[in-house]
Amino acid sequence: MSIIWGLFFTPEDFVQGNSYRIIYLHVPASFLSQTLYLAMAISSVTYLIWRVKLAAYLIIAIAPIGAMTTFIALISGSIWGIPTWGTWWQWDARITSTLILFIMYLGLISLHNSFSNHEKADKLLSWLVIVGAANIPIIKKSVDWWSTLHQSASITLTDKPSIDPVMLYPLIGSIIGFFGLMICLVLLSSKYQILHREKNKSWVRDYV
Amino acid sequence: MFNFAFNSLYEALYMNGHGLYVWSVVILVFISLLGFFIGYTVKIKKIKDKLNEPN
C-alpha cells in the first residue's frame, strides 16, 4: 500500500523528477540487507554461546534472503544512478561496501553448501558472520567518513529527517511493509531449513 | 496528501521519461519476492511429500 502511495500519490521531486520514486523500493531493500545481516550476527553469537540449534538454522535461512535484498538494493541504486548521476556505477564507499556485503552473503551460502558436516559448517559460518559484521557500520557511516557520490542518510535517529513529510510517510510505510514481508520469507525459509535438517527425526515425521 | 500525482495513466507509466527506471525496479522487486515465496513453498512441499512417502 505504501509503495503505491509513494509511486502514485506523492508529488514529483524538484531536483530528481519522478526517478526519486525508486526510493520507496531502494531504501527498504538496503535497510533490510543490513538488518538481516545483523540478525544473522545475533543468531551466530546465540549459537556459539548457547549452542541453540535453531539459531544455526536461522543463519542459513536468512542468508539467501539477505543476498536478495542486497541485490535489489544494488540494482535499484544502479538504475536510479542513470538519470540522477549520469552513471550506473561508481566505486564509492557506500556502493562498494554494499557490494562487499552482497559478496559476503554469496560466500557464506556457498561455504555452507560445500560442507557435508553441518555442525562444522554452522560453527565456521557463525564465526565468519561475526567477523563480517564489521562491514555493517562501515556501510552505515561510509557517507560520513568518505566523500561519496551517494547522498547522506535522509532519516536518522538523532536528527530531523531531511525529506519532506509528504514523501517521508510512505517511505516509512514501505520500510515497515518490506520488514513484514521479509519476516514472512524468513519464517518460510526457516521452516524449510528445520524440515531439511531434522528430516530423520521422529518428531518431523509426526509433524508432516 | 492523497492527491493522484499524474493527470492520466499514460503519464503515470511514462513519468516524464523516468518510467522505464522506476517500473523496471518495481518489476525486479516483484519478481524477486514472488520467486522466493514460490521457491520456498515448493521446496517445503517437496520435502513434506518425500517424508510422507512410504518406506
pLDDT tens readout for residues B10-48? 888 888 888 999 999 999 999 999 999 999 999 999 999
Whether chain B has a CB inside 8 Å of the CB on A185: the answer is yes
Quickly state the pLDDT bin for A142 (edges 50, 70, 90). Answer: confident
User: How far does chain B reach from its first CA to its final CA, in angstroms?
Assistant: 62
Contact between chains at A80 and B6 (C-beta distance less than 8 A): no
Cβ-in-10-Å burial (0-12, 13-18, 19+) of A183 comes to: exposed
**pLDDT score recorded for residue A76:** 96
Q: Is residue A3 over pLDDT 90?
A: no
Contact between chains at A11 and B5 (C-beta distance less than 8 A): yes
Quickly state the pLDDT bin for B55 (edges 50, 70, 90). Answer: low
Phi, psi values for residue A17, rounded to 5°: 70, -145
Determine the Cα–Cα distance for residues A170 and A189; give it in Å rounded to an integer.
28
**pLDDT score recorded for residue A196:** 92
Q: Is residue A176 over pLDDT 80?
A: yes
**pLDDT score recorded for residue B1:** 65
Q: Which domain holds residue B27?
A: 19-52
**pLDDT score recorded for residue A146:** 81
Q: Say what angle helices A53-85 and A165-197 make with each other, to 10 degrees.
A: 140
**pLDDT score recorded for residue A182:** 95
The dihedral of CA A75, A81, A87, A91: what is its sign? negative
Domain count across chain B: 1
Q: Between these two residues, A121 and A17, which has the higher pLDDT value?
A: A121
**Does some domain include residue B38?**
yes
Number of A:B CB contacts under 8 A?
Answer: 95
Question: Which A-chain residues 145-174 have CB contacts (< 8 A) with chain B?
Answer: 166, 169
Question: What DSSP assignment string belongs to A173-204?
Answer: HHHHHHHHHHHHHHHHHHHHHHHHHTTTSHHH
Q: What is the ipTM of this complex?
A: 0.90
Q: What is the 3-state secondary structure (H, E, C) of chain B?
A: CCCCCCCCHHHHHHHHHCHHHHHHHHHHHHHHHHHHHHHHHHHHHHHHHHHHCCC
**Does some domain include residue B4?**
no
Chain A residue numbers with beta carbons less than 8 Å from the beta carbon of B51 are: 195, 199, 204-205, 208
Closest CA–CA distance from residue A126 to any residue of chain B (Å):
23
Q: Between these two residues, A8 and B38, which has the higher pLDDT value?
A: B38
Say if CB A128 and CB A32 are below 8 A apart.
Answer: no
Q: Which of A89, A185, B12 is nearest to B4 (CA)?
A: B12
Domain boundaries, chain A: 2-207
Q: Is residue A129 over pLDDT 90?
A: yes
Whether chain B has a CB inside 8 Å of the CB on A94: the answer is no
Least confident of A31-40, A82-91, A101-110, A177-186: A82-91
